[in-house]
Amino acid sequence: MSAMSVTEGVHATSRDFARQPLGKVGVWWFLASEIMVFGGLMGSYILSRIAAGGWAAERAHVNTRLAVINTLVLLTSSLTIVEAHAAVDADQRSRVRTFLLATVLLGCMFLGIKAFEYSHEIENGLTPASGLFWSFYYTMTGLHGLHVLIGIIINFSLFVAAGGRNFSRIQHRVEYAGLYWHFVDVVWIFLFPLLYLA
């Protein structure tokens, strides 16, 4: 192998930032900005909670059992979307569609459980106006739920597109959608202990 081709081989690896696809860099930038959004909210929540003495009484009203189920649902959806990405790399169109659909259904299940949880809390008079804990609770879980909904729409559009003629055009998009979906999962990994466990 010539020196030139060795150099080309090194540059062709994905660890070279200059050779990253623009779409992928864009997704990472977007996720970096999202870290500030959720990081700011979580930081404000932690500060307010320490100042208020812990919010133990308020926290006793949240449904930890449903939150555990939702955590398992979202972690499983991370598995299904990474399997969809693996199927894209293996050029297995039917597996891509199956795992994308599974991710969409798990996302819908997450939102359904969250809606059920909200309805019970609102029935019991626990609304965003019930105090600072509930303002944070609805803001953080609501913003997260909005991200899940957007992820569902993206994944469903990719599921539909994967059945069409231009399968090759969506291959990178499945990876980008996966990055977004995993980020949403990571946010929940921290919201779960902040709101339900600690």
In the complex, the residues that contact other proteins under the rule CB under 8 A are 12-17, 20, 28-29, 31-33, 35-36, 39-40, 42-43, 46-48, 50-51, 64, 68, 71-72, 75-76, 78-79, 82-83, 85-90, 171, 175, 178-179, 182-183, 185-186, 189-190, 192-193, 197-198
Query: Please, which residue, 48 or 139, has the CB nearer to other proteins?
Result: 48
For the CB of residue 156, give the shortest distance to other proteins in the complex, in Å.
Answer: 20
Taking residue 71's Cβ as centre, other Cβ atoms within 10 Å add up to 18
Query: Please, which residue, 36 or 123, has the CB nearer to other proteins?
Result: 36
Q: In whole angstroms, give the CA distance from residue 25 to residue 164.
A: 26
Query: Please, which residue, 9 or 112, has the CB nearer to other proteins?
Result: 9
Torsional class of 55: left (φ above 0), alpha (ψ -120 to 50), beta (otherwise): left
Sign of CA dihedral 25, 26, 32, 34: negative
**Burial of residue 79, with CB atoms counted within 10 A of its CB: 0-12 exposed, 13-18 middle, 19 or more buried:** middle
Query: Please, which residue, 71 or 155, has the CB nearer to other proteins?
Result: 71
For the CB of residue 125, give the shortest distance to other proteins in the complex, in Å.
Answer: 26
Sign of CA dihedral 42, 48, 54, 55: negative
User: Encoding tokens for residue 27?
Assistant: 């997704």
User: Encoding tokens for residue 168?
Assistant: 């090759």
For the CB of residue 38, give the shortest distance to other proteins in the complex, in Å.
Answer: 8
For the CB of residue 103, give the shortest distance to other proteins in the complex, in Å.
Answer: 12
Query: Please, which residue, 29 or 116, has the CB nearer to other proteins?
Result: 29
For the CB of residue 190, give the shortest distance to other proteins in the complex, in Å.
Answer: 6
Torsional class of 164: left (φ above 0), alpha (ψ -120 to 50), beta (otherwise): beta
